[in-house]
A and B are shown apart, each in its own frame.
Chain A
């Protein structure tokens, strides 16, 4: 049901559906994730939607969006393995639910175009006042993220586990580099993105048939033949497990574990690993939640997640400092249980059901429809949701045991209270 068009400098993916009251457009720009550019790229996403020449302040741009029935305009950066993605999203009410015809699609598309081709530029640089404000905003956002102990400890795990590798590069940049970026460097970087980033545009909603022409008229980029790597399998330089313990003045300790798995999104055993993760810790029916929380009352949250684009698996839990070793042992025991094939058929059936349910649900949300399509488009995998589900359903016990045996604990990052001592 997805229609694909090769446009000038980008691929247009149309996902027509009548079930939403809004139309969603997502523009995705892909470039390699590099230490040198992660900060400027992040800062660009802040500056890009702050103003355009026509609406040269955040206030005026916001007022314009209000007028368009609260049309949204947002950006964020994310990583897909070795790539860093700028996501620019807008969603707005479908004209058919409004009292008068507003042509919101054309208007929003024109606005997207202006972000790139008519930004608020003075002498080949973004407006200095806006850049200063956005630098401050980004810095404060990074600080606030650090104060959220869950995301802080997760970032730290990546930092230690992925030191000197792409896994260790933060998708939102380095705080100490923000200040030195100039308004003209930022504009030069935008021009580079226009020239070199690989671009995909997704549209979800009930739109008219002439939509391809509307895009042709309103949005064009220079032709570009780049092809960037995304999904890869993380390889660790370590033979021994790296254990890092940090103390802060906090009540609940955060346990974060990173595993190497010898598998990623493009691997043959990706499907088996997805089922393995669902068994191990992906859902509240999984082993970790059932054993660590329900049977041992050690935590409120615990889960494992499969980062398919970096080819690693993570486990996070919030526990008491004194339960550190006990929790580690329980997690390890569950893992070795799965490695040894101690798995009931019903468990597998439930894990598959949960995955199927989660995947079918993505059809009901524009953003998740786009996210799934994009994962496939940047890895060149041709597969429908139904085919994907089918492959997951066909995974066997033997395949699960096989992928489990490749799972190896690599890094422990434990953020704990001041009272923590070695005997815990």
Chain B
């Protein structure tokens, strides 16, 4: 077991790689009642074309299958995992993102049993044709819920506009149509390929003793047998540089229009440290121009183009990256022009050391606050982990950033890669 200390944050992290390849991290938090465990596989909605374990040929699986599998994992041969957690007084849940599927529990007692149950239910699969059919009704209602959510439609629509081929444009839950194609044997193929311990990571944070828990996990893992792992071969996405659609409008039964300008970023760093630097510097740059303390925010507020819902976000995962700027607006067309104008003329927009230092301080405070909550530590740790980054490095990396690092981002603001998506009230 490796011990890593972070004196500035007063945190200690424990790490061990199990013989079967599973990575385990433990972060004891003194004084907390709660223990939170997060068991994550690098399998998300974008993983739709790959070579299944011990096969030779690429297969294409129905969209939404990672999410469907997430729903079905809770079923165990002798009952439902949620009920078993409940008997231990714990909650359980799961979520699927474009690049990961994560299972979690949150408990205030029976920590060991919960960790064991989390490992056991995810490391075994029990499917029946009947149960798969039954789940389709539930998932279709989940899809219907998102269909009616204008914020989600705008957010997702602005991503879909950017990509011609990349599966990030596929809705995480798939569609009613693709969900209907999902069957037992395809689910099992996905499971055996992506839920191998070597493709997974367990993070436990809270009221735990690492000296007791780590051997306990080791024992649990040593008692199980897995097929030999081989490197997972995913289809490399040949995404063209150009965006898919310059603009799109969706009419819904709403009163408040919404608008997002999205910008595709094709030049993505490979090295994890470079990726982290890119992310932190881009977020600082967006803050400088679009946070509440910025001149543009004030100006656009006064012109009634934006309100509190306005935001500028940067996303960077695996092999895709983009910006999204926008929010609710009574004048979505005007706001769109302003933002696109900003992108076109970004070379003329200056920023100074004073703004940079101020927002660096703000970011520092926010990063420290993350360590208040076991949930946010676990979620953020896992998200960065699969990008090859340790969250404890974030603060050091932020300290090292210079204003020149931000200057280097200028070429990414290229208007030919910008798109817009609007939600407008039906006439």
Contact = CB atoms under 8 A, between A and B. Distances in A.
A356 interface: yes
A59 B308 contact: no
A67 interface: yes
B89 A353 contact: yes
Contacts of B253: 248-250
B293 to A, nearest CB: 4
Contacts of A146: 254-256
Given A71-B365, A354-B86, A97 B8 contact: yes
Contact of A360 (B33, B292, B309, B374): B33
A363 B362 CA distance: 27
Interface in A199-257: 248-252
A364 B373 contact: yes
Interface stretch (B226-234, B242-250, B299-307, B344-352): B299-307
B5 to A, nearest CB: 15
B4 interface: no
B256 A144 contact: yes
Given A62-B293, A283-B86, A147 B142 contact: no
Interface stretch (A158-166, A298-306, A395-403): A298-306
B269 interface: no
Contacts of A365: 373
A364 B144 contact: no
Given A251-B144, A361-B34, A93 B309 contact: no
Interface stretch (B39-47, B51-59, B133-141, B400-408): B133-141
Interface stretch (A134-142, A261-269, A329-337): A134-142
Contacts of B149: 148-149
Interface residues of B, number: 72
A84 to B, nearest CB: 21
A140 B330 contact: yes
B83 A285 contact: yes
Interface in A270-323: 283-285, 293-294, 297-301, 318-320
Nearest to B370: A21
Interface residues of A, number: 67
A9 to B, nearest CB: 30
Nearest to B106: A361
Contacts of B87: 346, 349-350, 353
A153 B142 CA distance: 18
Interface in A63-78: 63, 65-71
Contacts of A70: 361-366, 369
Contact of A297 (B108, B109, B138, B292): B138
B360 to A, nearest CB: 9
Contacts of A58: 292, 298, 301
Contacts of A364: 32-34, 373-374
A66 B108 contact: no
Interface stretch (A12-20, A107-115, A185-193, A374-382): A12-20
Interface in B365-397: 365-366, 368-369, 371-374
A300 B307 contact: no
Contacts of B361: 66-70
A360 B147 contact: no
Interface string A337-379: 0000000001001100110111011011110000000000000
A248 B253 CA distance: 7
B150 A147 contact: yes
Contacts of A353: 86-89
B365 A93 contact: yes
B373 A62 contact: no
Contacts of B80: 294
A67 B362 CA distance: 6
Contact of A318 (B32, B88, B144): B144
A22 interface: yes
Contact of A149 (B10, B34, B148): B148
A91 interface: yes
Given A58-B298, A69-B364, A354-B86, A300 B145 contact: yes
B336 interface: no
A406 interface: no
A293 B251 CA distance: 31
Given A63-B293, A133-B302, A249-B253, A19 B108 contact: no
Nearest to A359: B108
Interface string B404-427: 000000000000000000000010
A146 B255 CA distance: 8
Given A58-B292, A297-B137, A364-B33, A357 B365 contact: no
Contacts of A356: 89, 108
B141 A300 contact: yes
A299 B31 CA distance: 39
A143 interface: yes
Interface of A: 17-22, 57-60, 62-63, 65-71, 91-93, 97, 129, 133, 136-137, 140-141, 143-144, 146-149, 248-252, 283-285, 293-294, 297-301, 318-320, 346, 349-350, 353-354, 356-358, 360-361, 363-366
Given A251-B144, A297-B134, 6 more contacts: A19-B32, A58-B292, A67-B362, A249-B426, A353-B87, A360-B108
30 contacts: A22-B368, A22-B369, A59-B297, A66-B362, A71-B365, A93-B368, A97-B9, A140-B256, A144-B256, A147-B256, A248-B253, A250-B148, A251-B144, A251-B148, A252-B141, A252-B145, A283-B91, A285-B86, A297-B138, A298-B137, A300-B139, A320-B141, A350-B83, A350-B87, A354-B86, A356-B89, A357-B106, A361-B34, A363-B32, A364-B373
